[in-house]
Amino acid sequence: MAGLLAATLTASLVAGCTTAGNPGDDGRGRPHPTSSDRTGTGSALAVKIDNARAARPQTGLNEADIVYVEQVEGGLSRLMAVYATRLPKTVGPVRSARESDLELLAQFDRPTLAFSGAQSKLLPLIDKAPLRAEPPGRAAGAYVRGTDRPAPHNLFLRPRALVPNAPGTDVLTTGYRFGAAPAGGEATAAQSVRYPAARFTFTWSGSEKRWLVAMDGRAASTADGGRIGAGTVVVQYVKVRTSSFGDFLGNNTPFTETVGAGTARVLRDGRAYDVRWKRAKAADGTTFTTRDGRPMTFQHGQVWVVFAKAS
């Protein structure tokens, strides 16, 4: 089945695709970076990725350096994958941007944002934000429509059409620290995070040395059959408030506040650490500190950050 999915997707993206126009939207863990990873120049590439059940399996997630998970309308979830050290051939399905993305991305130095579109009143804010916005209307040749699933879950990005070379780790100005695990932590086999209409479970695999991802009770894999997993998972408890935006069904768009301070749970090496997070302003990265005030270190490899509503 995995081989069939991969073959179907490859065929649709190479032979059976059309160049995307207007989107019609509602708008394996990586080892320590090598020296070649640090030679790239340019900006980080952030891609908004559909996470509705009809959009799975996605492509390109395992090559991301960071995967952010946020709540959207109707209690569902959406992903934003950030690429710096590797660029996959395709990423997607690509979906629309949200107001929260602008605050989250302000920590990077003028990143490139790939997204399918946005509400009309949000577009001026995107244009004013310190980023390079590249929706299909501005970079049509970078996007293709697949034929194996219906719109809007079939828009895919060819990353190298926007960012020719992987820029390297220097563009990951997130404040994260990587290194040996700190003392302490609690042995943990699995951790779940629930949204009103979505659920994520991260299960430690000792053989793979990473946290394997399940979404809505099912093991998450990419279109080529590779299990999705991360060396580090951060469950970051934040304020989630209503915004002035909504979808065509009348659902309000939640705004996830990533500037401020609060608590988080960091999973690495089969253990969980209860920590504090702090981000003083949007241009800053986020720092994580242990209970004794020391910097929390992450495992080398992919990081998943799940924004959960603080109680």
Domain co-membership, 226 together with 280: yes
User: Average pLDDT of 31-37?
Assistant: 34
Beta bridge partners of 260: 279
Q: Measure the CA–CA gap between 127 and 129, rounded to whole angstroms.
A: 6
Per-residue pLDDT of 122-152, as tens digits, reads 999 999 999 999 999 999 899 999 988 899 9
Are the C-beta atoms of residues 141 and 191 closer than 8 Å to each other?
no
* DSSP conformational letter for 140: G
To 10 degrees, the CA torsion angle through 170, 174, 176, 178?
A: -20
Task: Read off the pLDDT band of 200 (50, 70, 90).
Answer: very high
Q: Is 222 in the same domain as 191?
A: yes
The residues with which 268 forms a beta bridge, in sequence order, are 232, 271
Residue 170's pLDDT is what?
93
Among 103, 134, 167, residue at a domain's last position: 167
Q: What is residue 215's predicted lDDT score, i.e. its pLDDT?
A: 97
Q: Are residues 184 and 163 in the same domain?
A: no
Q: Kindly provide the residue ranges of all beta strands, DSSP E only, lying in 147-300, ordered along the sequence.
A: 155-157, 177-178, 186-187, 190-195, 198-205, 210-215, 218-219, 229-230, 232-246, 252-257, 260-268, 271-279, 287-289, 297-298
| DSSP per-residue codes, 187-214 | E-SEEEEEETTEEEEEEEETTTTEEEEE
pLDDT at 52 over 60: yes
Reported as half-sphere exposure (CB side, CA atoms, 13 A), residue 8 has a value of 15
Whole-number pLDDT of residue 34: 35
Task: Examine residue 273 and state whether it is found in any structural domain, yes or no.
Answer: yes
Same structural domain, 160 and 45: yes
How many folded domains does the chain comprise?
2
Domain limits at 95?
Answer: 2-23+35-167
Do residue 76 and residue 201 come from a single domain? no
Please write the tens of the pLDDT for every residue from 218-269.
999 999 889 999 999 999 999 999 877 766 667 788 999 999 999 999 999 9
What pLDDT is recorded for position 41? 54
Residue 8: predicted pLDDT: 43
